[in-house]
Structure 1
């Protein structure tokens, strides 16, 4: 026999005829929908952590913009005279990629620190999708890279950087920067969860990033490097990304650079996904 309160929930009441009994059920944590629904609030958390981390925020916005100006002042005339093109078309893509890399290093360091505090273990025992936290970290990196790329492109306008090929190539330039940043972020996150708590990630990743930063086509044309070094400079990940971004902004050969960017992006992400998931699971369980 149905009681009065149950009847009211099932059929409504005279005062509230549209009140119905709740019919929703929790989203299964292992489902695709669960992965999507759980990743969204965690992505918001990561974005808020980044926005409230003022030193990292300044490092990813102010320092790259200042570096862009210094590169223009110190190297601008030399690069311009050697290439016959405004050096801003090399400097701006270079600084955009450097900002993406060093921001990811800061995020990887934060992940390693959160592992030592036990946060990963607490997230792991909650009824959320196992991949949601790592997904949220990559998604927040994409949001960060998008924001810093737009900000630095606006700053680059002050030193002569222009989009001469239209809206489509301009959007393509931003997508190239985000693809490169996504690959680098996946790699650094995989290293962060597999390294021990308190591991010196910043010195090692900083050294690796500095080598990429100083040996690419953003500082000078590949032909200006020693002959034995040219194949390495031409095919390391940053050079095709810089060349593609320059061509998308100012025109020029594009296909080969885009193919190399795609190959590097797919290769790095493919090699990083499994170690990242395995390392995350191990880091959460070992705490």
Structure 2
């Protein structure tokens, strides 16, 4: 009753309608929808288990089962490879969950209802991408905290520490664009979970987080060295422990830009088609 009274007290001339295509409308509406996406994600126990609890347990298991073996074989503390690896893997699993949620909401008609509302046309999709960026930041902080329990430390100062989280967010944003684009351009009923899971698993086991690049067969080394996860892991390792950054950071930026540029048009066009039921 109190809310209705307050609404009734607002005169029509006090309500300012923002143009749908204006930046102000996009910013305000995207902010609201980002909050919705984060609430939906963190209120779902299965999502929390998959993107936070399971990666944290995986990190601890890597240390217990493989930590000493990898450290003795490489001469370096394995935790500086496994923590970045788990951070990136968590972002990929989280993006997969977001893509599945988008498919479900597409099937339920929610996308169509959002699309006919007088809001900016790209607000909902951009909110999904930005919410994945924020979720990746939050889960990365939690997972780094778990890493501290097994010996992970920032030895290069506060600036490189912030840079490590920035790389994780950059990677998460690009991967979210790719998975969400896949979700909206795929026909209904496509086993999206299996495909995204297969890609994530392949990338998870063939990177420099588990083993140095020269530990892989010669024919596989170029693939391992240049797949998106490896330069991101190497940059994050260097930011935490020290070491060269520039070359791998350039690779991370290039991969991020390429993935986002190639995903942007299919994502926006596919979202429109999915929303109107085409």
Which interval holds the TM-score relative to the shorter structure?
A: over 0.9
TM-score relative to the length of structure 2: 0.94
Contact 1:194 1:280 in 2 (8 A): yes
1:66-145 alignment, distance < 5 Å: 66-145=57-136
Structure 1 residue 231 and structure 2 residue 251: aligned?
no
Question: Which residue number corresponds to residue 267 of structure 1?
Answer: 258
Q: 1:244 aligns with which of 205, 220, 235?
A: 235
Write out the 4+ residue segments of structure 1 that deviate beyond 6 Å after TM superposition: none
Contact 1:247 1:254 in 2 (8 A): yes
Distance 1:76-1:24 versus aligned 2 partners, 3 A rule? same
Distance 1:25-1:237 versus aligned 2 partners, 3 A rule? same
Q: 1:278 aligns with which of 257, 260, 269?
A: 269
Mark the structure with the bigger radius of gyration.
1
| Counterparts of 2:143 and 2:219, CA distance in 1 | 33
1:212-227 alignment, distance < 5 Å: 212-227=203-218
TM-score relative to the length of structure 1: 0.91
User: What do the CA deviations read for 1:117-142 (whole angstroms, capped 9, x no partner)?
Assistant: 11100000000000000011011101
| Counterparts of 1:196 and 1:240, CA distance in 2 | 33
Structure 1 residue 50 and structure 2 residue 25: aligned?
no
How many residue pairs were aligned? 269
Q: Kindly state the Cα deviation for residue 253 of structure 1 after the two structures are TM-superposed.
A: 1.0
Q: Which runs of 5+ in 2 are unaligned?
A: 1-9
Q: Kindly state the Cα deviation for residue 273 of structure 1 after the two structures are TM-superposed.
A: 0.7
Distance 1:21-1:227 versus aligned 2 partners, 3 A rule? closer
| Counterparts of 2:256 and 2:61, CA distance in 1 | 29
Q: Kindly state the Cα deviation for residue 24 of structure 1 after the two structures are TM-superposed.
A: 4.6
Q: Which runs of 5+ in 1 are unaligned?
A: 1-18
Structure 1 residue 167 and structure 2 residue 158: aligned?
yes
Q: Kindly state the Cα deviation for residue 239 of structure 1 after the two structures are TM-superposed.
A: 0.1
Question: Which residue number corresponds to residue 50 of structure 2?
Answer: 59
Backbone CA RMSD of aligned residues? 1.3
